[in-house]
Structure 1
Amino acid sequence: MRMIDYFDRGLRIARDRPCMIEGDRQRSYAEVAAHVNAVAAMLIADGFPAGAHAAVLSGNAMAAFEAVLGILRADGVWAMANNRASPAENAYLFDLLDIDTLFVHSEVADRIATFRAQCPGIRRYIALDRPFPEADFYLQDRIGAAAPPVQQRRSGAAEELGFLANTGGTTGRSKGVMLSNGNWQALVSSLVASMPMKAPPVNLVAAPMTHAAGPLALASMALGGTVVILPRFEPATVIEAIERHRVTYMFLPPTAVYMLLSHPGVRDADFSSLEYISYAGAPMSLDRLKEAIAVFGPVMNASFGQTEAPMCVTAMPPHEHLDAAGELAHPGSCGRPNLLSQVEIMDDEGRILPPGERGEIVVRGPLVMAGYYKNPQATAEVSTFGWHHTGDIGVRDEQGWFYVVDRKKDMIISGGFNVYPAEVEKALLAHDDVQDCAVVGVPDEKWGEAVIAFVEPRAGHAPDEDALLAFARDALGPVKTPKRIEVIAQLPRTTAGKVSRADLRKPFWDAAGRKI
């Protein structure tokens, strides 16, 4: 099955149901299907080849989702693009991924000049939301009201390339990730198995559609679900949208969950419609997780995945979060493997480790990517011993629950001891004054690397550094306790919204004249 076939399933079972809602506008599945068909017909008439690569550079918008579906309807390959990335990073990726056609929102129209200079392979620039001179033409000027049905132009085989994602670039230059039709089928199947819906979902897209929220929204269309689109994450707007549209499902990174919990009106809101809040991408403070369950209800859904094995390698559904006494049943776990993935803990020599021993989390199965685009060496490196290597250090217990300890490349060696930043961060996040934090290793003559924590305070709180150090020492002991804590207004983040430890480390290692 092709990716567009899942939308067609939603069309068949929910033709007149709202497919997408943006502000006061909404379109039914039938209306979206007609518009998507017209976009695809325009692409084909413009010379877009079957299997060619196209991207949509836009924030969250109905027009952006319809353009993505139009690419897929034309039997093109959708390449995910991040409108918050720098022009230079996008130019690098567009050139690497052989983009043929680029849909561009007016908010980032000024970047087209850079792309024209650095991406000679891009054949067409299409204005997405309104006319502007930098583009070749405006989408609505080229599509008709009733285009004839677009015929399938590729086989739809499982091994056929469906979409191109890119790695976050937190450990080096971004790479293109090839995800096939079979990968998409495994993703949709795993999501439905791990989060069974009582009725067609109402999916709130508040996190960027350029990352997990976008593919998850497209997957929900296979169930005839309604996608409610917000231009950006704002706690008050999210709360209002949940109540107004009776939202049943949304994806949020832990930082966004913390921001919701800190909003003064959150405890007066009606969240009774929610079935799932899926969280992933970073460890969640256990105290905040318990608070989230108390505020939103038993709806929290943990998962672990990465671009190369997207979103749900493991999952812990809401009913497995709490034990009979109402306490966290598996504190800090990211769940157990989904039905279609084998997951193990492996050492550097390729040995599968028993429960309780730390090593790298490895996975195999139909969820794992086809490889890195035009990079067979990197593909081979992450595929040794017949498993995909996630780069994450983890452990599993006797019952098969997995726990992510940290990124392999973020591990700190201080005084000969291994210190995992995520473990220290989890301890600090338990303090009431801490909104978020990041832990890094910096050069130190005595310890080799010294552990330093950067803390972002909660609104209205003023953390005391000495008190935080004492709090951490009680939880961690002397070896893992940071040598110092620095309170900063806001942690640096990547364009994917993840805390950038690299930016925090860089000044210290630059001053030492070397890198980790």
Structure 2
Amino acid sequence: MGPATAMNLGRLLTQTARRLPHHVALAWGDRQWSFAELDARVDSLCAALRAHGIGKGDRVLVHSRNSNAMFESMWAAFKLGAVWVPTNFRLTPAEVAYLAETSRARVMLRDRGFAGHADAVRAAGHCRLVLAVGDARADELDYEAALAAAEPPPPDHEAEVAYGDPLWFFFTSGTTGRPKAAVLTHGQMAFVVTNHLADLFPGVTERDASLVVAPLSHGAGIHQLGQVARGARTVLLPSERLDVEEAWRLVEEHRVSNMFTVPTILTALVEHPGVDRYDHSSLRHVIYAGAPMYRADQKRALEKLGPCLVQYFGLGEVTGNISVLRPDQHSIEDDESFPLGSCGSARTGMDIAILDEKGARLPAAETGEICVRGPAVFAGYFENPEANGKVFRGGWFHTGDLGHLDARGFLYVTGRASDMYISGGSNVYPREVEEAILTHPAVLECAVVGMPHPRWGESGVAALVPRPGMAVTEAEVLAYLSDRLARYKQPLRVVVWEALPKSGYGKIPKRLVQDRLREEGVVF
């Protein structure tokens, strides 16, 4: 077993349930569960899974919208010493079958309406045991019935674990090729939870509440671990889609103090008239991550919400733990004493370096690949030595993102290495172009991509969405950029769409934008 260096992370719930048994742990729609009730349900799920031979190291595939069952499955997997394998609930049956194959999952929990996904997983030879929420078929276990029938386990039944034992396969969104399972471990995640509490939402206690507006399968799930550790209540939206009106109502009702968002969700919250109708003075830490936030959007959010924005930069592989920009480091004014445009400085205990192609550190203000090391870095991709060899070169985790550090150590992300395009021999970073376009008063969202060009190699195309009730044309945008960007950085084409293609996590994958442009015949 080795030295006693790791707690089973499932015990975060056990400990809080003992300390605060009657406090609300989870609120969803018109239902609430106390910490004692939630912990008892999780223990029953552990017993039900153990009775079917599921235990340490087994992978638990979960295909579900945000719900109490999904939240319970996470804690049960941890307590069992099993591995939680959540999917994006918007994936197709074939895509979920691929994740089952990649992880070699032994049991599946599925939400109602996803029978076809379970069939695809079983057809691939995995998960003979399926727990179904609400619409179980004859060959599946009904989730609530399984919990009700289970014999509660004795106290302190959680599996013994070592620091490096896996607890979560965090599927990367697969910007290059198919998704890979990033292995998160008990020891690593104990650091991440502690670091989130120190750097992202310090001072959280049982008097706080956290609203979940993003899928628990990714960053929002990580965020909630710290809430449970401190006894704060978790509030779920009642429906699977982002109902902004309802989100603001819940902020007021539960006096929500923190939430995890991505920039597109935060912008949707800020742009909605509900922001002015409900009391959100309780908000202290509104965290945005997953993609950089444009300065124009950031200013509007600060105007509406006040000094509560927290930005972090991080990938699933580093569990969001690379940098942080605290509320007091955000400024609504273009005051150069603030690190404007930065995503913050290194998280406590983490080291950031900008490396060149040879792996040498670059000096301040020089652009290279953002690399990181420290206890938040994952254990590697599951059974993928080739990918691990690429990302763990020279003692650093290579993010694939480009950026630079300033003299004070603040990080500026230029974009994904794969997003950059070369036009007429010059590097163009789409983020810089997007920043300029978003200052146009009629533009709500935009994405800039490089497309093949017969003369310049590649040239930029900007796809944008106008603000509601406003119109904008290609000619207007090009004229607007003429004195704001160097000629080679200006897009050659601008297209206006009703919406940009988004991933299940609210990001705008550039490859989807390029695919749609090709489909629509936007070529040079």
Q: TM-score, normalised by structure 1?
A: 0.95
Match of 1:206? Answer: 213
Match of 2:55 in 1: 49
Residue 9 of structure 1 deviates from its aligned partner by 3.0
The reply on whether 1:288 has 2:297 as its aligned counterpart is yes
Distance 1:135 1:293 in 2: 52
Task: Tell me, in whole angstroms, the C-alpha distance in 1 between the residues paired with 2:93 and 2:214.
Answer: 21
Give yes or no for the alignment of 1:175 onto 2:156: no
Structure 1 residues 184-333: aligned runs within 5 Å: 184-194=189-199, 195-197=201-203, 199-200=205-206, 201-230=208-237, 231=239, 232-322=241-331, 329-333=338-342
Q: 2: CA distance between counterparts of 1:372 and 1:316?
A: 28
The SS at the match of 2:264 is helix
Residue of 386, 389, 392 corresponding to 1:380:
389
8 A contact 2:299–2:332 mirrored in 1? no
Q: Aligned pair in 2 of structure 1 residues 285, 328: CA closer, same or farther (>3 Å)? A: farther
Q: Which of 459, 465, 468 matches 1:456?
A: 465
**Counterpart for residue 163 of structure 1:** 168
User: Is the contact between residue 8 and residue 222 of structure 1 (CA under 8 Å) also seen in structure 2?
Assistant: no
CA deviation map 1:447-472 (0-9, x unaligned): 11011110012211211222212222
Paired with 1:159 and 1:135, the residues of 2 have a C-alpha distance of 35
How far apart are residue 323 of structure 1 and its match?
Answer: 8.3
1:374-433 deviation digits (Å, cap 9, x = unpaired) = 101110111111100000001110111001100001110000000011111122122221
Alignment match, 2:406 = 397
Question: What secondary structure sits across from 1:439 in the alignment?
Answer: strand
**Contact kept in structure 2, 1:112 and 1:135, CA below 8 Å:** no
2:143 counterpart letter in structure 1: L
The alpha carbon displacement at 1:341 in A equals 0.9
Paired residues of 1:442 and 1:509 also in contact (CA < 8 A): no
Deviation for aligned residue 1:324? 9.1
User: 1:350 maps to which residue?
Assistant: 359
CA distance in 2, matches of 1:101, 1:116: 10
Secondary structure of 2:53's aligned partner: coil
- Higher mean alpha-carbon deviation, 83-92 vs 236-245, is at 83-92
Q: Which moved more, 1:424-433 or 1:53-62?
A: 424-433
Deviates more, 1:350-359 or 1:476-485: 476-485
Q: Is the 8 A contact 1:452 1:482 kept in 2?
A: yes
Within the candidate set 136, 140, 145, 2:140 is matched to 136
Letter in 2 for 1:215: I
How many matched pairs?
511
Deviations 1:430-450 (A, max 9, x none): 222122111111111111101
Q: 1:406 to 1:226 in 2, by over 3 A?
A: same
1:494 and 2:503 are equivalent in the alignment: yes
Q: Distance in 2 between matches of 1:11 and 1:511?
A: 55
Gaps of 5+ in 1: none
Percent identical? 35
The answer to whether the 8 Å contact 2:108/2:118 transfers is no
Deviations 1:7-29 (A, max 9, x none): 22322332211000011110110
Asked if 2 retains the 8 angstrom alpha-carbon contact of 1:42 and 1:142, the reply is yes
Conserved 8 A contact 1:443-1:509: no
Give the CA deviation at 1:259.
1.2
* Structure 1 residues 508 and 32: alpha-carbon distance in aligned structure 2, compared to 1, 3 A threshold: closer
The 1:193–1:48 alpha-carbon spacing in structure 2 relative to 1, beyond 3 Å, is same
Which among 16, 23, 28 is matched to residue 10 of structure 1? 16
Among candidates 91, 96, 99, match of residue 97 of structure 2: 91
Which amino acid counterpart does residue 215 of structure 2 have in structure 1? P
Quick one: which amino acid aligns to residue 209 of structure 2? V
- Structure 1 pair 398–326 and aligned structure 2 pair: CA distance change class (3 A): closer
Aligned to 2:431: 422
Distance 1:323 1:457 in 2: 23
Q: CA deviation at 1:326?
A: 7.1
Q: In the alignment, is the contact (CA less than 8 A) between 2:93 and 2:116 conserved in 1?
A: no
* Range moving further from structure 2, 74-83 or 484-493: 74-83
Compute the displacement of 1:45 (Å): 0.8
Q: Give the CA deviation at 1:488.
A: 0.6
Unaligned stretches of 5+ in structure 2? 1-6
Q: In 2 relative to 1, CA 328–302 (structure 1 residues): closer, same or farther, beyond 3 Å?
A: farther
- In structure 1, the residue matched to 2:132 is 127
Query: What's the RMSD between the two structures over aligned residues?
Result: 2.1
Hey, what does 2:4 align to over in structure 1? none
Contact 1:132 1:138 in 2 (8 A): yes
